[in-house]
Amino acid sequence: MANKIRRGDYVKVITGKDKGKIGKVLIMKNHLAIVDKVNLHSKHIKSNQNNHEGGIVKKEGLIHISNVLYYCKENEIASRIGFKINDKKKVRFLKINNTIINEK
């Protein structure tokens, strides 16, 4: 099964503590995504030879793609994504209004 959400897409979180936030997908791993400034965790860093300053660093955590929707910045709407064949090419489209996102 092809992932409907890809790296570089903007998504809107629909569940959890960050519900309603919009961010850009930085990394995709299977059906998990790391979204910019979403699902932040505090990580304690110990000072060492490479990192002279220790402290607490905020870092993005993984979020499952079932908890996000694709966000179209032009129309400012969040929607599920579908696939269809258009001129012998597989394309992604928004299910809410059938607009084509990009061609593969």
Q: On the CB side of 85, how many CA atoms lie within 13 Å of its CA?
A: 2
Q: Which pLDDT tens digit goes with each residue over 8-67?
A: 999 999 999 999 999 999 999 999 999 999 999 999 999 988 878 889 999 999 999 999
CATH fold label, 10-47+56-78: SH3 type barrels. (2.30.30)
Angle at 64 between CA 91 and CA 84, to 5 degrees: 15
103 vs 73, higher pLDDT: 73
Average pLDDT over residues 79-99: 93
The pLDDT confidence band at residue 95, using thresholds 50, 70 and 90, is: very high
Is the pLDDT at 103 greater than 90? The verdict is no
Provide the token pair at 52. 């002279």
Is the Cβ–Cβ distance between 12 and 22 less than 8 Å? yes
Contact 25, 33 (CB under 8 A): yes
- pTM given for the model: 0.85
